[in-house]
Amino acid sequence: MAFEFPDRVPLARIPTPLHRLDRLSKAWGANLWIKRDDLTGAALSGNKIRKLEYEMAEAMRVKAKFVITCGGVQSNHARATAIAARQLGIEPHLVLRTPDGKPPTEWDGNLLLDRLVGAEITWITPEQYRNERGAIMAGIANRLGAAFVIPEGASDARGALGYVAAVKELAEQSKAAGVDFAYVAHACGSGGTSAGLAIGNAIFDAGMFPVAFAVCDDESYFKNVIGGIVKEFAATFGGITDPAAAKLSIVDRYKGVGYAQSTAEELAFIREVATAEGILLDPVYSGKAMFGVKQELAAAKTFRRGAPICFLHTGGIYGLFPKRFEFGF
């Protein structure tokens, strides 16, 4: 199906590589490939950059002088937004949550990069984040004027465009590689990437069923969030007439002990993948998702035996650094 994309700002280094994980495929008895969206850039590494190409294009169209967004203290999205904003001559303002709503004592990982590019930061508590983050960002926007607000994870209809386009890119790559992916497995934290994959799969009839591994919340929550993004997309950009056509599966069994919290087993698994393939997964998103893929394969759940699986590496390398002591080296 033909689909006309709106304007974007070229920020990501795309197309990102696609290759087979030969050693893990052999060890796990699977046909596992990886789409390297951790390689969308260096400072601009990860899945958020594809979304920000469309968000920032809109910010520039409306002549925004400030961009405001939100996330956790080690938010990949917030870091990417701050850096992309600076590259485009826009002032970044971040609303970040910490357990007590106060600045942390160590500036590490993503937060260090936020600081280096001079992002203004408003600190809030988890309760404020749950209940008031939209109002807080709106208040900052009203105070600053000429501000463009991007939601958590750039997870709205506009941000989803990034992964609608990624489906088209992946379909072309898979054809060139001679592989027909049955599934696209990926981490799900705010729903925008999952929504884009589901919409793109429907628009382009790609036959690559998205499997979202939740790293927080649960299946019911993400069905509601992703469903809302899909409906907004259909109303705003078209491409699909029936939002129900954007199908996907949500697996919520591998969140572990909590968002951005790691078990010893999860950290050992990240080392296992790094040793086997030289690929660095992050502890918040891709590590939990790939761990889930391994467990589901072992239990013969979710994935059809022998079917080609593409794992979408959504980045997050800077999230490894705050975990350095937990690895026990």
User: b/e for 106-132, b at 16 or more Cβ within 10 A?
Assistant: eebbbbebbeeeebebbbbeeebbeee
Measure the CA–CA gap between 154 and 190, rounded to whole angstroms.
8
Per residue in 136-152, pLDDT tens?
999 999 999 999 999 99
Mean pLDDT along residues 98-112: 96
pLDDT band at 263 (very low <50, low <70, confident <90, very high): very high
pLDDT band at 198 (very low <50, low <70, confident <90, very high): very high
CB 21 within 8 A of CB 32: yes
Secondary structure letter of residue 322 according to DSSP: G
Active-site pick, 45, 75, 174, 190? 75
pLDDT band at 328 (very low <50, low <70, confident <90, very high): confident
Tell me the whole-structure pTM to 2 decimals: 0.97
Report the number of secondary-structure helices (H) and strands (E) in the chain: 10, 10
Per residue in 224-249, pLDDT tens?
999 999 999 999 999 999 999 999 99
Q: Is the pLDDT of residue 127 over 80?
A: yes
Q: If DSSP codes are grouped into helix, strand and coil, which group holds residue 43?
A: coil
Q: In order of start, what are the domains of the chain with their CATH numbers?
A: 18-46+155-323 (3.40.50.1100), 48-154 (3.40.50.1100)
CA distances, 197 to each of 95, 191, 249, 311, 315 (Å): 27, 10, 11, 12, 16
Measure the CA–CA gap between 206 and 201, rounded to whole angstroms.
5
Query: Mean pLDDT score of the chain, rounded to an integer?
Result: 97
Per residue in 159-182, pLDDT tens?
999 999 999 999 999 999 999 999
Measure the CA–CA gap between 51 and 77, rounded to whole angstroms.
10
Rg (CA), the chain: 19
CB 310 within 8 A of CB 185: yes
User: In terms of Cα–Cα distance, which of 190, 193, 180 is closest to 216?
Assistant: 190
pLDDT at 176: 98
What is the end-to-end Cα distance of the chain in Å, rounded? 51
CB 84 within 8 A of CB 49: yes
Any catalytic annotation for residue 45? no
Sequence-ordered list of residues with C-beta below 8 angstroms from that of 133, at least 6 positions apart, any chain: 70, 95, 124, 152
